[in-house]
Structure formats: structure tokens, C-alpha cells
Amino acid sequence: MNKLKLLFLCLILQSSFGFSQVGIGVLGLPQGNRYDDIYFINADTGWAAGGVNKSIYKTTNGGLTWQFQYNANSYLRTIEFMDENVGICASTFTKIYRTTNGGANWLDITATIPFTLNGTCGLSNPPGTDDFFGCGKWSGNPNIIKSTDAGLTWIYDSMHTQASALVDILFINKDTGFVTGRDTGMGCGIILKTINGGVTWYQVHCTNLINSLIWKIQYLNATHMYASIQDDYFLHRILKSSDMGETWNQVIIDSNNFYNITRLQMIGFLDSLQGFAGGWGPGLYLTEDGGNSWELDSTIGYSFNRFFRINNDLAYMSAYTGYKVVRGGNNVFGMNDEELVMDSIDIYPNPANDILHVHLNLPVHSEFEMAIVDMNGKTVFYRITDYLEPGSYDFEFDVSAFPPGIYYLNTQSNLAILRKKFIKL
């Protein structure tokens, strides 16, 4: 098992193009693995869901210290609260949990649900309601689940006719919501919208990028919505909407992602000008002009997934740890030097002529995706496995028919996204 040691400093950012002073501090969460989600009910009280470490933590002092609450024995992907007491946490592997006392006790409610959950990647509580919506999952089996009684009972809606995978879900009121994922045809990233509480959905955007996913979505206000695109091309893109998500425009934020952040996932804005984007590789993108231009600070963070905005001056981010974003640079914390457990892959021979061998070490059980792309970002091979146990695996790929040139093997699990270059003779 490979361990990558990363050092990140808490600092005040001042970019070369005059980025306003923003403090980004490392939260006091236990280190070692990615935190997939983070949720706050106010500036001080929040929860973090740790994917691989399968644990839920709570803070009541703005992230300075955290109290362990629960170990789920399942990969935790998403967490959502409707108030200070009632919350839902869900796993990519069938499990769903509920609390009615702020997380002091969590109950596994999976057995009470009258259908088989295939995994949940996103949760949303429409403001001012007892409703919860969930969607899943990034590796397939697309579905939306809904509760109208604070998570006591649930109904299920298969989305197979409109999507092949679903990642994030966001309701801005009881009727209007969005879900992100991948379509059923070319494997392109999509956004679906509902205006009747999830009874019906219609597509509002398709990336037209093969083997892409629209990952996270944020609603700032009716004229400022954002989404991130994860793809295998050598570009990083986000989406912007100015009409309540009816139409979306793609914005390239970096044309050289192989050397920067591999696969974009997190997107979030403090206000209409100041935004942040991140992915699996080291570094954080920052913008001060509404996302028209971006600057990468490669010293900040790793494995970003969720941006949770409190107000124009405060937000939290989930990554290999948690981060606090404070306009003005106050109330940020110190630095951490910890080890991150990751997948590892080796390929041989390289260069390859006929057969390419891939050796995988997978530290935890996970979905697993592999793709081979050429220098133009075109996917020439794709394979996804719904579930792999921890261990070592060997794969063989016949590349004899590939034209000579440079290719990249991209892999994704719940733990890491990795890329390896090889040459076909």
C-alpha cells in the first residue's frame, strides 16, 4: 500500500492578479483519508462524513475541534441535516443512516426501506420542508429516493431512462431541483431539472464530452448557478447558468490538467465574483471575476469534493481533510502533516506493443473505473466494475490495434483518481 505524504500550510492568499485576501485554514479533523462531504447548519455547528474511514464527526466551534460520533462500517459519501437534530448520512454501498438528536445517536435504517438501495452519492433537504431527496450513484444504477417525513419512510424512482449515473442532487425549494450525472447514450455529463418536486425531470444540459460526469452543483441565487465537469480530456471545465439552470455555458479554467488537478470535482462561490474549484490532484483554483479567469495555487489541498457556503464571507470545503474559507483571513487554523492512503497502479511493459499489463493495489472496497484515452482526450477503452474487494488485481489489455502514440490509463475509485502514461509502439 502506497502512502503519499502531503504538507499543506494555512496561509493568507494574495494572488498575482489581486485576489482579495482570503484565509484558508485546515480544520481539526483526524487525518489520513478523504472526507467526502461536509454540512453546516450555521457558522459553528457542522458534520463531516469520512468516506474510507467510515466515520461521522461533529464540530460546534467552527471546525476548530471535532467530536467522533459514529462508525458506519460502510463508505460514507454524503450527509445532510434539516435542522440541528434531524440528519441523514448515506453510503455508496446500500447503507443509509438517520439521527434525531444531532448525531449523538445514528440508526441504520436500511432494513426499514422497502426497496434495495444501490448506493447514494448526494442528499438534499429543500429549505423549510421535512423532505429529503437522495441520488446515486457515480458508477451506475441511477436512482432518486425521496422522503416527505424527515427520513422516516422513503420512495424510489429509477432514472435508467434518463441517466446512466447520478452524482449530486440539489433542491432550492420544495418544487425546483437539479440532479447531475451522465447520460444513457454517449456517456456525456448531464444536468436534469424538476419543477414539480421530482415527479418528472427534464434535461437542461449535456456536455457532449464522452465519458464525462457533471459532478457537483451550486445555487448561489437565481442568476448565478455553477457546476463542475469531471472528464478525461486535458481541460478543466465548469458550467455557469444565469437563468435558474435552464441553460448552461461551459468555461475552461485550465487547459493543462494533466500537470495540475486530475479530474475536477468541487466547485463553489462565496459570492458572484469569488470562487473555488478543486479535484483529486494537489492544488486549488481561485477566481475573483466570476469564473472568467482562474489561478491555481498548488500548495493548497488535495482530493476536494464539497464546497459548503455559509454566507459571502465564510465557507467550508471537504477534501483529504476539511478546510475553512474566511474572507479577510481571520479565524484560520494551523498546518497538518499527515499521510494519505491511496490506490496504486503499475503498468508494464512501457512502451507496449501487444499486451499492456496493469497491476492494481486497492486498499479498500470500492467501485472501480478504468479508461484509456489518447492524446486528444478521446476514450479508446472504458470499463467499470461495480464492486471490488480490497486487495491486488492484475488486468491485461490488448492494445495491438491502437495506432502508435502516447496514451493515458485513467483509473477512479472511491479513494483516488490516478493517471499513468504509456507509449504504444
Write out pLDDT tens, residues 74-87: 889 999 999 999 99
Helix (H, G, I), strand (E, B) or coil at 257: helix
pLDDT tens-digit map of 58-68: 999 999 899 99
Give residue 385's pLDDT. Answer: 67
Give residue 234's pLDDT. Answer: 63
Q: Note the residue count of the chain.
A: 425
CATH superfamily of 343-424: Macroglobulin (MG2) domain (2.60.40.1930)
User: Across the beta sheet with 275-279, what order do the strands follow?
Assistant: 264-269, 275-279, 284-287, 295-297
**Nearest-angstrom CA–CA distance, 382 and 380:** 7
Contact assessment for residue 193 and residue 178, using Cβ atoms and an 8 Å cutoff: yes
Domain spans, the chain: 3-340, 343-424
Contact assessment for residue 251 and residue 238, using Cβ atoms and an 8 Å cutoff: yes
> Confidence class of residue 352 from pLDDT cuts 50, 70 and 90?
very high
pTM of the model as a whole:
0.79
Which residue type is seen at 311? N
**Nearest-angstrom CA–CA distance, 322 and 315:** 11
All cell numbers assigned to 385 = 466494475
pLDDT tens-digit map of 208-245: 988 889 999 999 999 999 999 998 666 789 999 999 99
Cis peptide before 390 (omega within 30 of 0): no
Fold classification of 3-340 (topology level): Methylamine Dehydrogenase; Chain H (2.130.10)
Please tell me the least confidently modeled range out of 99-103, 125-129, 230-234, 419-423.
230-234
pLDDT at 412 over 90: no
Per-chain mean pLDDT for the chain: 85
Give residue 258's pLDDT. Answer: 52
What mean pLDDT do residues 171-183 have? Answer: 97
What mean pLDDT do residues 158-187 have? Answer: 96
Which residue would you say has higher pLDDT here, 213 or 16? 213
Compute φ and ψ for 96, nearest 5 degrees.
-140, 140
Which residue type is seen at 96? I
Candidates 340, 338, 279, 339; CA nearest to 307 is 279
**Nearest-angstrom CA–CA distance, 29 and 302:** 15
